[in-house]
Amino acid sequence: MLVSIRVELERQVSFSKLDYCQYLLSSQKNYTLTNLADHLNFFSHDTINRYLTGEKLTPRLLWDNVKHLIQLDEDASIIFDDTVIDKNSSRCIELVRRQYSGTEHRVIRGIGLISCVYVNVKTGQYWVIDYRIYEPDGDGKNKLDHVADILNNLVYSKQLPFLRVLMDSWYAAQKLMAFIEQLGKIYYCPLKRNRLVDDSGGVEKYKQIGQLSWSTEERQHGKLIKIKNFPKQKKVKLFRVTISTDRTDYIVTNDNSQNSTDEVQKANAERWKVEEFHRGVKQLTGLEACQCRKARIQRNHIACAILAWTHLKRLAALSGQTIYQLKHQWLSDYLSEELKHPSIPMQLV
């Protein structure tokens, strides 16, 4: 009897992306479909699985939900970075491939996620506005292709105002950097220490960045260099930025009028915002928790996890809290109530 009633209710009420996003937003630890079905009166595990298999949620859904929130600015920055959604203990999940994880500092099994963040540098606020799933076997695209596609869409379709593009050293390829310049944008990008460059105007051979000599003036104002395999006459500005006592970054920009290492360091520091997003979406909305095998379910789960994070961040900003405080306040309220009126009273002899 109860089963027949549940089946009838499922026919009358459809499971939706709103239901799934709410689950990812509300659940504190367990993000499995089984756990979701156990806590819903109207929907079975099979119903939820069928929905996630049949639905097709794309990055456009993220844009539709965030575009009215963005504080647009002509001086804004666009940040690109990628992260690996850890599936190291899984062997049968589609989209999973072996790839290097910056978090783990080693090659693991996982799903590659390329994220695009819009930063209003005047207010410090930022919004995740686009993303791509790294699946070269499926679409034939590498990470550079995805970044170029997103940039092309931002400029010509979304027509977002922004001045500069910030990205990791993985994206410091001549083709992409030239494309950014063709769009009329400025890029700031760290180069690896072994990248071959010339700061002598062709007098000396190319040498690794880590072997360059720096005068006091160059440390403060940067130096013009040519990167090997770039066009013959193409010069860019290189800055030696001290991050900590044991770390020095070499930041390159096509803005040859830039003459302040401090300003370059400030601009490069904005890249940390995308790291904040990757950490938060993994910890608070179960980005890595889906164990379903089908690629379509994984894609839909990733889409909903990002949507849930976006909503959580908006509410946190309105309430003056961090996303972690907002997410965990329910547990805090529960603990306070349990200490007053325990469901399982403690007893001692």
Gap between the Cα atoms of 93 and 108, Å rounded: 14
Listed residue (133, 169, 136) closest to 150, CA to CA: 133
- Whether the per-residue pLDDT at 347 is higher than 70: the answer is yes
Q: Which residue has the tokens 């928790």?
A: 289
Query: What pTM was computed for the model?
Result: 0.91
Count of other CB atoms within 10 angstroms of residue 225: 23
- What local confidence, expressed as pLDDT, does residue 4 receive? 52
Query: ∠268-196-141 over CA atoms, to 5°?
Result: 65
- What local confidence, expressed as pLDDT, does residue 40 receive? 86
- What local confidence, expressed as pLDDT, does residue 10 receive? 47
- What local confidence, expressed as pLDDT, does residue 137 receive? 93
Cβ(61)–Cβ(33) under 8 Å?
A: no
**In the chain, where the domains are located:** 186-270
pLDDT digit string, tens, across residues 4-33? 545 544 444 689 999 999 999 999 889 999
Gap between the Cα atoms of 312 and 189, Å rounded: 30
Gap between the Cα atoms of 196 and 338, Å rounded: 62
Using CA atoms, how far residue 144 sits from 15, 62, 170, 184, in Å, is 36, 21, 9, 18
- What local confidence, expressed as pLDDT, does residue 182 receive? 96
Q: Which residue has the tokens 């405080």?
A: 325
pLDDT digit string, tens, across residues 262-314? 999 999 999 999 999 999 999 999 999 999 999 999 999 999 999 999 999 99
- The mean pLDDT value for 215-243 works out to 95
Using CA atoms, how far residue 141 sits from 44, 117, 149, 176, in Å, is 37, 20, 10, 14
pLDDT digit string, tens, across residues 68-90? 999 999 999 999 999 999 998 87
pLDDT digit string, tens, across residues 141-183? 999 999 999 999 999 999 999 999 999 999 999 999 999 999 9
- What local confidence, expressed as pLDDT, does residue 243 receive? 86
Work out the pLDDT band at 336, boundaries 50, 70, 90. Answer: confident
pLDDT digit string, tens, across residues 173-199? 999 999 999 999 999 999 999 999 999
pLDDT digit string, tens, across residues 33-67? 999 999 888 889 999 999 999 999 999 999 999 99
Gap between the Cα atoms of 58 and 65, Å rounded: 12
